[in-house]
Chain A
């Protein structure tokens, strides 16, 4: 099959970018979207041009490194899918596909389709952990955790940190990301001791990084590859007030 890719090209953060069109031939339906870009890059190399910079690593939907805004949707046309798991069978022969980097002030463009998501790491560094030194843990079964609690924590913990939530949010809000980590840790008994401090510090960092407000459009939970529920944000809001008023 044949597709026209309309791809955002930008040398570096300071530069102005622009779309450039590439007609790509010899594609097959079972190629993944990233393999199509690989293929395009090989043709660019042979023409002596600089390749399109885009990110990927595991290519099985778990590392969270890939992330492209494809035809108006974060990670492409399907719900709950990463870019690496998008295949060309989701497009029609002859389609034009618009390919853009994640857009948010907190995610500056590094080059072409690569953005800098280190703001996420800095949020995690403000309490997205349980302070447990290696070698200090009690016997694992000494802390009983009900299945429902463990499942709920796991639902939130599944976040892969891809940034689709921020990318799709009209406000560039990181509320889903931040709330997922807060709820993962604050739900578990091990995380309870630092619960209030964690909420205060992580949300403060979220504000500091320049993310927008959450207005509950719900776009994030649809684009989230792990389908993390927006109810997490509501729960974080409750935890925030608890931390502010009662702690």
Chain B
């Protein structure tokens, strides 16, 4: 199958406008006859659901949490980028486009990335209008701060709770449409599978997590907005419920999975402290604006951090990347930390962390200023670790964070299954091999609010002629039975190991072989190990409770079964891509200085994988760079 990204004609600046000029419209009277299912209530899901409802479509929105306000967009701390150039520091759409493309190590589409930058400015207007209390100057204008990987200040923020404020704005708009009876919410409902009728997405099977009942829902189009899948590593910055099941099920039904192994490892999370840990808490990247990262020059230095003199500290980011220093992009900062930790310079009880030090900032500007900027983060650090970070450096460590990979989508955000869309983190689109800080809230919002509502009509206009599918279609019965069988199968294993136990085992393999640094033998072994784990899971997992009723163990088990399969695909992808780019670092392909070595001649394409129970099939979408010449990504 030839992958067609459907990039519109024209100059880069005109593509999105040209697309909109040519796309089909649907008259308002007809829109209300069209049903759209949105799975997920995060920034992209709630934004899409609310906006589509405003346009007149009949929307059903599903999410596994008890309220739409809990989706994990809520946890993003630092901010959202927009090329407003309010700071008069030379920013522009073009520069933001270039930063994003370069930040992603030239593994994303020019047209998509440009559109992301182009729509960033109106998005800030949009959120301001919806009541997001962005930080302001005394004179009343919006404030910006800087984030990793760029040299301008284009990040807008609401304290350290930007994601929360944006999500609550989206949630409020969603509720506005609930009141107008244009959106029906299905809280505590998890999508179990996608239903295709004649190869076209026509509905889903969802499980009511309270009663355990399987329910069928039919629609004219299905939108997946289910977020990232870094919980495949078990320990990640994601919410415990975040999962890859919806996109995995879609993948198994025919949607291609793009760049699955591109996973961002965030450099500033709290280190793991024990085996029983369930989650790694993120400390916003904004801390790197004023915090300096270092390790002792001497291995196993027994001294307390404050007792180590300046001359005996290795500020390795400042040393290796003098021009970006502590604000080097995430993949680079994480890898540099891993390099130091692996070399034996790690600090903390388990020697798995580095220091993030605010001594200089406090000395330069005083504690009050630092407190104004990061007070809530310091408070959070104290809550979790019991340590006062004003007095001694924080201990931080890399943690699995964002999935650049996801379902392959074209310029219209449609997957390879007609009628199935993927928006936000669950698609692969705009970030290439590495995402810049404060671009995830942006992409999720832009996808949901601005792009999908302008592209879905192009598909739905054609489907007006055909009747809306009903749940009586035999396809629904078949899929429902398959879901039921899967549930019964898990519950009937009656093995000896808990779901969490298997998840820990999977996480260990993935973190060891498919995280910050990868190599051929390791990945090959990992694939074997995960396959063995899969066999062992289906013969030895123990899940108590019933199918018809609330059963949190069953939920976890179903998600893990998909994670295990996804893990195999991630390793397969990482193995196949014999180059280093962005977050994907293959040890075989590095410069003498240990930097990532891209191989544009052989790998300037998006890997889109087709599901095949025997062996995943690779399809290539060649990346052509018309406007920007891929260069060596240097932050030195």
Contacts and interface: CB of A to CB of B under 8 A. Distances in A.
A54 B540 CA distance: 25
A133 B125 CA distance: 12
A147 B274 contact: no
For chain B, give the interface size range: 35 or more
The 6 A-B pairs of least Cβ separation, nearest first, read A144-B140, A129-B172, A137-B129, A125-B175, A154-B133, A137-B125
B274 A124 contact: no
Contacts of A64: 67, 69-70
Nearest to A59: B279
Interface stretch (A42-50, A166-174, A237-245): A42-50
A38 B544 contact: no
A51 B278 contact: no
Contacts of B137: 147
B127 to A, nearest CB: 8
A145 B500 contact: no
Contact of B138 (A28, A141, A147): A147
Contacts of B550: 53, 110-111, 114
B133 A146 contact: no
Interface in A42-83: 42, 44-46, 48-51, 53, 55-65, 81
Contacts of A126: 179
B383 A85 contact: yes
B282 A129 contact: no
B136 A58 contact: no
Interface string B237-279: 1011100000000000000000000000000000001101111
A62 B276 contact: no
A101 to B, nearest CB: 13
Nearest to B163: A62
A92 interface: no
Interface centre among A59, A61, A161, by most B CB within 10 Å?
A59
Contact of A48 (B71, B171, B281, B544): B544
B276 to A, nearest CB: 5
A57 B142 CA distance: 32
B136 A130 contact: no
Contact of A42 (B168, B449, B450, B498): B498
B544 A63 contact: no
Nearest to B70: A63
18 contacts: A30-B273, A38-B276, A46-B498, A51-B545, A57-B241, A58-B74, A59-B240, A85-B380, A114-B550, A116-B66, A124-B69, A125-B176, A132-B129, A137-B129, A144-B139, A154-B159, A157-B133, A161-B69
Contacts of B453: 134
A97 interface: no
Nearest to B496: A46
A200 to B, nearest CB: 14
Contacts of B500: 38, 42
B386 interface: yes
B142 A35 contact: no
Contact of B65 (A65, A133, A146, A147): A65
B136 A147 contact: yes
B207 to A, nearest CB: 15
Contact of B72 (A63, A131, A133): A63
B505 interface: no
Nearest to A133: B54
Interface of A: 28, 30-32, 34-35, 38-39, 41-42, 44-46, 48-51, 53, 55-65, 81, 85, 87, 89, 110-111, 114, 116-118, 120-121, 124-126, 128-141, 143-147, 149-151, 153-154, 157-158, 160-161, 184-185, 188, 190-191
Contacts of B136: 145-147, 149-150
Nearest to A32: B278
Contacts of A149: 136
Interface in B175-225: 175-176, 178-179, 185, 187, 210
Nearest to A153: B133
Contacts of B239: 57-59, 63
A34 B380 contact: no
A188 B131 contact: yes
A209 to B, nearest CB: 14
Contacts of B69: 63-64, 121, 124, 161
A203 B165 CA distance: 22
A44 B137 CA distance: 54
Interface string B482-500: 0000000000000010111
B175 A140 contact: no
B542 A184 contact: no
A60 B176 CA distance: 28
Given A45-B542, A134-B449, A141-B142, A59 B278 contact: yes
Contact of B384 (A49, A87, A184): A87
A35 B277 CA distance: 7
Interface in B366-412: 380, 383-384, 386
A32 B449 CA distance: 37
A44 B158 CA distance: 42
Contacts of B66: 55, 65, 116-118
A30 B274 contact: yes
Nearest to A86: B383
Contact of A61 (B139, B168, B383, B501): B383
A133 B50 CA distance: 9
Contacts of A117: 66-67
Contacts of B178: 125
B164 interface: yes
A44 to B, nearest CB: 7
Contacts of B72: 57-58, 63
B558 interface: no
Interface string B46-70: 0100110010000000000111111
B13 to A, nearest CB: 20
Interface string B121-150: 010111011110111111111100000000
Contacts of A154: 133, 158-159, 165
Given A34-B278, A132-B129, A124 B75 contact: no
Contacts of B135: 147, 150
A75 to B, nearest CB: 11
Given A62-B164, A65-B65, 5 more contacts: A58-B72, A63-B239, A125-B178, A136-B129, A149-B136
Contact of B187 (A53, A118, A137, A185): A118
B543 interface: yes
A14 to B, nearest CB: 13
A185 B383 contact: no
A158 B165 CA distance: 8
Interface centre among A133, A140, A154, by most B CB within 10 Å?
A140
A121 B134 contact: no
A190 to B, nearest CB: 5
A161 B175 contact: no
Contacts of A114: 550
Interface string B424-463: 0000000000000000000000000110010000000000
Contacts of A137: 122, 125-126, 128-130
